[in-house]
Amino acid sequence: MDKPAILLIGGIDPQGCSGIMTDSQAVSNHGCLPIPLITCLTEQTKAGPSDLGVISADQFMRQYQSIVANIDIAAIKVGLIPNLEIAQAVHTILTQHPVPIIFDPVLATTSDGICISHDVQTYLFEQLLPCISLLTPNIIELQQLTQETDKTLATNSLQRAGLKACLVKGGHANSPWATDYFYNSDHSFYCYTEKQPKFVRGTGCVLAASIASNMALNHDIRDAIVLAKAYVTRGIRQAKNVGPHHVINHADTAFTLDDIPKLCYQSASIGQSFHFPPCPQRLGIYPIVDHIDWVKKLIDVGINTIQLRIKDASPQQKHTAIKQAKAHCHHQTAFFVNDDWQAAIEHQVYGVHLGQEDLHQANLSQIAQAGLRLGVSTHSYWELARALAVNPSYIAFGPVFKTSSKVMPWAPQGIARVKQWQTLLNAQYPLVAIGGINLQRAKQLHATGVGSVAMIFSITKTKDYKAVVRDLIAMW
């Protein structure tokens, strides 16, 4: 389908602040089709719920059969499951759909007026967890579901129960940061934003519905989470008063850079700040070369930004090459060393460029204290979130086009995405486009406003590199 259909299983909030109503708004705003499957018709006001209004399991399943008679489901978001009969029916449904399934476990209402029974909680834990793609409990729900107060013990308990992935929401924690913790069998990270001084209804519902929509649109689960957190952050920032409530705003406006969360791998790094010297907003033509001879040749024909990336050499050979390259640079040269941050510090070059894995392993404090600029590679929204957490001097983004310089697990991003990121970074971080760029494509990218293009083979594999470089410099 051109518009992916998201099955929304949950209850109706008669005041429209949470549940199916706000789920549907979020799904629609992502360009997907919301398909509501109602579990209960709650009766609630600001003072809390007075009745869950549970519908019968037969009626619930008749709703479901009407839906799947004509519509293919691309993802499922599960919310309030009020009793054991509905829980069993939901289990039957989930086993029929090999699609992303996001479960936001509503175990008690916001005002703690009504709690879900222990039998239902036990069934959810034992039967539903193996069926879902991502669980999104807050800290209180995590404790209720697992009967563990320690987060590590609680998440281990969920894994033993067959859960594939979990995002523990931290908005309830006593912290200046709204920090969510994600883990699955391959990855774990903390995703955080600064808390806003507002209490807004329905944020957990919206987060899960946004993740489901993003995954239906083929985003990686990590990107889906980062984009969903940005969606909620923007919605809180633009929240409106509706009666006695602050209600999340489902806007079509673009994210600002402050909406994008930051990402780190240790809890001690949350909120940690680094200060690297700035780079020029327009770094221009940026060759990446693997030999000292290319550094000399390209600087001689007018290149002012260059990176030396040597992979297959001994540490001593790398040190020698970096020393010789720096000696050939003049005071206007922005000379970056790839990966070897310790050698870059020793030789006091202009800057160091790190990929995501190198970023995880490097001592960023030492790089900053040495006064080096830092460039960071990004290929996705979650990698952008990681880069923002370290506050680099510039951000590289790609591959813009298909590239043969190395095997890439990411699809080409395209010129439109470069323009989007250029607008998003909004002059706060210089953007370097990289991947499959030649002279003609450089001309197309120039029109986006991006300040730099990194190039490898289009310069080093051409017959007349001097002519290519002259044309690029003149055009840029």
Q: How confident is the model at residue 409 (pLDDT cuts 50, 70, 90)?
A: low
For the ranges 36-50, 207-221, 364-378, the lowest mean pLDDT is seen at 36-50
> pLDDT by residue (tens digit) across 115-171?
788 899 999 999 999 999 999 999 989 999 999 988 889 999 999 999 999 999 998
User: Residues 289-305, buried b or exposed e (16+ Cβ, 10 A)?
Assistant: bbebebbebbbeeebbb
> pLDDT by residue (tens digit) across 74-108?
999 999 999 999 999 999 999 999 999 999 998 86
Higher pLDDT, 431 or 16: 431
Sorted by sequence, the CB contacts under 8 Å of residue 33 that are 6+ apart come out as: 1, 3, 4, 5, 6, 27, 71
CATH code of the region 5-269: 3.40.1190.20
User: How far apart are alpha carbons 3 and 333 in whole angstroms?
Assistant: 49
Tell me if the pTM is above 0.75: yes
Phi-psi region of 316 (alpha: psi -120 to 50; beta: other; left: phi over 0): alpha
Residue 112 reports pLDDT greater than 60 = no
> pLDDT by residue (tens digit) across 196-250?
988 888 899 999 999 999 999 999 999 999 999 999 999 999 998 888 778 899 9
User: How far apart are alpha carbons 202 and 179 in whole angstroms?
Assistant: 17
Residue 333 reports pLDDT greater than 60 = yes
User: How far apart are alpha carbons 9 and 93 in whole angstroms?
Assistant: 10
**Residue limits of CATH 3.20.20.70 in the chain:** 284-475
**CA dihedral over 330, 334, 339, 344, signed as positive or negative:** positive
Q: What is the pLDDT of residue 406?
A: 63
User: How far apart are alpha carbons 97 and 94 in whole angstroms?
Assistant: 6
Q: What is the pLDDT of residue 110?
A: 45
Q: Which fold has domain 284-475?
A: TIM Barrel (3.20.20)
For the ranges 12-26, 45-59, 431-445, the lowest mean pLDDT is seen at 45-59
For the ranges 250-259, 286-295, 344-353, the lowest mean pLDDT is seen at 250-259
Q: How confident is the model at residue 21 (pLDDT cuts 50, 70, 90)?
A: very high
> pLDDT by residue (tens digit) across 264-292?
999 999 999 899 999 999 999 999 999 99
Instruction: Please tell me what DSSP assigns to residue 189.
Output: E
Backbone angles phi, psi at 319, to 5 degrees: -60, -45
Task: Report the greatest alpha carbon distance in the chain.
Answer: 79
The string of DSSP codes covering 133-153 is: SEE--BHHHHHHHHS-SSHHH
Q: What is the pLDDT of residue 421?
A: 95
User: How far apart are alpha carbons 458 and 210 in whole angstroms?
Assistant: 40
**Residue limits of CATH 3.40.1190.20 in the chain:** 5-269
Q: In a 10 Å sphere around its CB, with 0-12 CB exposed, 13-18 middle and 19+ buried, how is residue 233 labelled? A: buried
Which residue, among 52, 177, 22, has the nearest Cα to 115 in the 3D structure? Answer: 52
84-94 and 57-68 helices cross at what angle (nearest 10)?
A: 20
User: How far apart are alpha carbons 272 and 190 in whole angstroms?
Assistant: 12
Which residue, among 216, 243, 213, has the nearest Cα to 231 in the 3D structure? Answer: 213
Residue 1 reports pLDDT greater than 80 = no
Q: How confident is the model at residue 403 (pLDDT cuts 50, 70, 90)?
A: confident
Q: How confident is the model at residue 52 (pLDDT cuts 50, 70, 90)?
A: confident
Answer whether the bond into residue 261 is a cis peptide, omega within 30°. Answer: no
